[in-house]
Amino acid sequence: MQVKKLVRTLLLLLLVSPIAVFGQHENKHNSEENKVKTEELSAKEIKSAERKEYITHHLQDSYDFTIWHAMGIEFPLPVILWDEGLHIFSSSNFHHGEAVAESNGNFYKVFHSKIYRTDAEGTITMDEHHHPTNAKPLDFSITKNVFVIMLMSLFIFFIFMRYAKSYKNNLVPKKGGKFLEPLILFIRDEIAIPNIGKKHYRKYMSYLLTVFFFVWFLNLAGMTPLGITVTNNIAITFGLAIVTFFITLFTSKKNYWLHIFWMPGVPVPMKILLAPIELLGVFIKPFALMIRLYANMTAGHIVIMSLIALLYAFDNWLAKGAFLGLTLFLSVIELLVAFLQAYIFTMLTALYFGAASDEGEH
């Protein structure tokens, strides 16, 4: 019973805390920045700009990890650059992008979430298209998204290692194993075997389990007010899709390529016409994986953040109550979407693996 109460409490905090954080964020900017901007912008324009800034901050990657912006709870991350040599320093040197960082005689500045080499004054020159012309070093920094990926990977590794050891002397799952085992069996019995087949599914199971729990846990982490929305970064979804693409290519059998370049049972003129289309489909499939996960998670976060912003845009308490109820309802739906997107990504991956391993026996 105590565990159930704890889960309900954590779920409630998960749903309500973004609203509280948004309020703290807005109050802080009202007290600090509005004094400077009031002469140039109206109060409505200021609030609109602050809401857009908060939504952008929640969705974008950054060089430091902010837990609670209003309370100043944050910590820097290491910046690792290669620019005529290795440069390693703390992201706190940038002071949230407002200062120029110096390393071994070189100066660097964050501009539009990217690091450029500059001078001591932080000069950024632009071309006619308003693109920076400053040299951009190779960036291997541990950003917020990279840090969360590393943290989540270690979490998944240790939690599964722990529950795997509990099966050595007793095949009955204990504690968290009772939650994980049905999910593992679901992926095996409802995703892997039906789409890949009993003969070949085992060699893909480790990847299917990894990608399912990795995407799902990252999606859940994105529902917190910490701004760790990793799966709405197209570089991350591209990385996941490209791994699926290479596994499909390197494990594919002769029958897979036969159905692409010379489909059996199809007239020769149609084979010549369809071969380029089928070959193009080889690259479109991982692209669809990438865009599907990226677009769905990004859209969900933007909708929820926009509704939270509307709570502070209206002075009418009836409107506030309506938007609060709608926000809580969509937050619950987004929890379902977090699981659904992990399921869809794993299901489509299994379909591609099944096509690649098909031996044409039937």
For the chain, give the percent of residues with pLDDT over 70: 79
Q: Per-residue confidence at 92, pLDDT binned at 50, 70, 90?
A: confident
pLDDT digits (tens, 9 = 90+) for 117-160: 888 888 888 888 888 888 889 888 888 888 889 989 999 999 88
Residue 52: the pLDDT is 66
pLDDT number for residue 119? 87
pLDDT score of 340: 92
pLDDT level of residue 91 (50, 70, 90 thresholds): confident
Strand ranges for 98-182 from DSSP E:
101-103, 106-111, 114-118, 138-139
What Å distances lie between residue 140 and 81, 237, 294, 313, CA to CA? 6, 18, 22, 40
Q: What is the pLDDT of residue 68?
A: 61
More confident residue, 107 or 310: 107
CA-based angle 188:189:190, to the nearest 5?
A: 100
Q: Which position has the higher pLDDT, 341 or 310?
A: 341
Report residue 348's pLDDT band, with 50, 70 and 90 as the boundaries. Answer: very high
Could you tell me the pLDDT band of residue 350, with boundaries at 50, 70 and 90? very high
pLDDT class of 298 with cuts at 50, 70, 90: confident
What's the sign of the alpha-carbon dihedral 192, 195, 199, 204? negative
Measured CA to CA in angstroms, residue 95 lies from 29, 37, 73, 76, 98 at distances of 17, 21, 14, 10, 5
**Considering the chain, what is the average pLDDT of its residues?**
78
- Distance between CA atoms of 97 and 239, rounded to whole angstroms? 27
In the numeric block, which tokens belong to residue 29?
């900017």
Q: Distance of alpha carbon 332 from its chain centroid, rounded?
A: 19
Of 319, 301, 299, nearest in space to 311 by CA: 319
pLDDT digits (tens, 9 = 90+) for 222-244: 877 666 778 888 888 999 999 99
pLDDT digits (tens, 9 = 90+) for 26-77: 444 444 444 444 444 556 666 666 666 666 666 677 888 776 655 556 778 8
Q: Is 128 left (phi over 0), alpha (psi -120 to 50) or beta?
A: alpha
Torsion angles phi and psi, residue 31, rounded to 5: -85, -25
* Per-residue pLDDT at 353: 92
Among 11-15, 88-92, 282-286, the range scoring the smallest mean pLDDT is 11-15
DSSP H helix total and E strand total for the chain: 11, 8
What pLDDT sits at residue 73? 66
Q: How many CB atoms lie within 10 A of CB 40?
A: 8
- Interhelix angle 234-250/317-357, nearest 10 degrees: 20
For residue 233, give the amino acid letter. N
Cα separation, 125 vs 104, in Å, equals 22
Domain residue ranges of the chain, discontinuous segments joined by +:
15-74, 78-141, 145-357
